[in-house]
Amino acid sequence: MVLFDLDGTLTDSSRGIINGIQYVLSKFGMQEQSRERLLEWIGPPLADSFRTYCSLDEHEARQAETVFREYYIRQGMYENAVFPGIPQLLDKLWQRGTPMLVATSKYTPIAESILEHFGLRPYFIGVVGNNEAAPAGKVEVVETALSKWKSAVDRNVVMVGDRKHDIAAAHANGIASAAVAYGFGSAEELHNAQPTYMVDSVDELGKLLLV
Q: Give the residue numbers marked as catalytic.
A: 5
Which amino acid type is present at position 15?
Answer: R
The contacts of residue 41 (CB under 8 Å, 6+ apart) are 17, 18, 21, 49, 53
Q: Which long-range contacts (CB under 8 A, 24 or more apart) does 112-117 make?
A: 113/77, 114/6, 114/11, 114/13, 114/77, 114/80, 115/6, 117/77, 117/78
| DSSP per position, 6-51 | SBTTTEE-HHHHHHHHHHHHHHTT-----HHHHGGGSSS-HHHHHH
Can you tell me the distance from the alpha carbon of 113 to that of 69, in angstroms, rounded to the nearest whole number? 13
Q: What percent of the chain is helix, strand and coil (3-state, nearest 5)?
A: 55, 15, 30
Residue 147 neighbours by CB distance under 10 Å: 11
In 3D space, the residue among 163, 9, 186 whose CA is nearest the CA of residue 101 turns out to be 9
Measured between alpha carbons, how far is residue 61 from residues 57, 106, 210 in Å?
A: 6, 15, 41
